[in-house]
Amino acid sequence: MAGVLNFSQPSLFRPLSGSRQIPRTSFSIRATSESSKTPQTPSSSSTTSTQEKPEPTPFAAPPNFKPPEPKRFAVRPDKALDILGAALALFFRFGTGVFVSGYSASFVSKDEIPPDQYTLEIAGFKVKETSKLGPRPGKPIEIYEYESCPFCRKVREIVAVLDLDVLYYPCPRNGPNFRPKVLQMGGKKQFPYMVDPNTGVSMYESDNIIKYLVGKYGDGSVPFMLSLGLLTTLTEGFAMIGRLGKGQSYTPAKLPPKPLEVWAYEGSPFCKVVREVLVELELPHLQRSCARGSPKRQILIEKAKHFQVPYLEDPNTGVQMFESADIVEYLRATYAQ
């Protein structure tokens, strides 16, 4: 099995500002399994054929790897400073990206919510959480970005607010795969860059992307903390002080044939430390957004019998796991060169 990068021939066009309709420029990551057969030669007695065995996949979980048991709200002692630094963003951004659009919560009795439903329990009461979501895209939005960019963070926050699933193509500095792809598609290396496969729209400029997403998949209104212009950008930059330089530069890594799948949301410091490594290793990943109020929290409960983020599913190795510190170690052991 071999990883193949499949680039379709781009059309020739000049870079344009704002949004535009372009012929769909596709980019796929796929696995191929090649086998060869010798021609069958008839004989008076029998017909024989030989077949080569497919090459084994180069990706496997580390030796003796065992997914850890999830521990709610636990921080591994050696990672306490990492989580504390990542949590500074909550202060500078007033929790933007923690709650889904239209979020509301109320205390109800224990009997009102079935035991198999996702809920918070506080002082003998359960918290009923609701949200108001807009139209859902049929296919995940595709975004080319990197972790330590304040303009990219603005877009990641609106992704959490709108509860969108996004296929992220990380573009760290000196990354060999997706930075050149953005130049090929849009004409310049500028981030973030969004492609909506549902409409054919692609665009640069974080503010334009935010306005497009809330107009197409929200109620049309930009959240207050994302509507302050230069002040928004400055606070996004301050939010990264605790993790300065993380998720910025490329670490040589093997490109997997299939994108990883991560259940996460921008407001979680535990998710942030995992996202940093995904970006540094330039690993494409489908993020299942699940901020507070997201109905996907219940979906993860049904899938994994537990809710906790981040949660990683790696289709290249079959690994499924919780716990941010262990996920970081797994990613480095499996993909870093």
Alpha carbon separation from 128 to 57, 131, 134, 303 (Å, rounded): 45, 10, 20, 21
Q: Which residues contact 38 (CB under 8 A, 6 or more apart)?
A: 49, 50
Which of 72-81, 193-202, 208-217 comes out lowest in average pLDDT? 72-81
| Each residue's pLDDT tens digit, 253-283 | 999 999 999 999 999 999 999 999 999 999 9
The average pLDDT across 191-205 equals: 98
Nearest to 154 by CA among 209, 202, 197: 209
Q: What is the pLDDT of residue 19?
A: 47
Report the distance separating Cα 334 and Cα 337, nearest Å. Answer: 9
What strand order describes the sheet that includes 166-170? 19-21, 201-203, 193-196, 141-145, 166-170, 285-289, 260-264, 311-314, 319-321
Q: What is the pLDDT of residue 53?
A: 52
Tell me the backbone φ, ψ of residue 260, rounded to 5 degrees: -75, 165
Q: pLDDT tier at 110 (50, 70, 90 boundaries)? A: confident
Q: What is the pLDDT of residue 41?
A: 37
The average pLDDT across 277-298 equals: 98
Cβ atoms of residues 298 and 174 within 8 Å: no
∠ Cα 213 149 188 (to 5°)? 75
What strand order describes the sheet that includes 104-108? 104-108, 125-130, 120-122
**What's the whole-number average pLDDT of the chain?**
87
Report the distance separating Cα 274 and Cα 325, nearest Å. Answer: 8
Alpha carbon separation from 161 to 150, 181, 215, 318 (Å, rounded): 17, 28, 13, 30
Residue 38 has pLDDT above 70, yes or no: no
Nearest to 164 by CA among 105, 82, 97: 97
Cis peptide before 269 (omega within 30 of 0): no
Quick check: helix, strand or coil at residue 37?
strand
CA-based end-to-end distance of the chain: 19
Q: Are strands 285-289 and 166-170 parallel, antiparallel or unpaired?
A: antiparallel
Report the distance separating Cα 177 and Cα 6, nearest Å. Answer: 12
Tell me the backbone φ, ψ of residue 7, rounded to 5 degrees: -105, 125
Q: At what angle do helices 206-217 and 150-162 cross, to 10 degrees?
A: 10
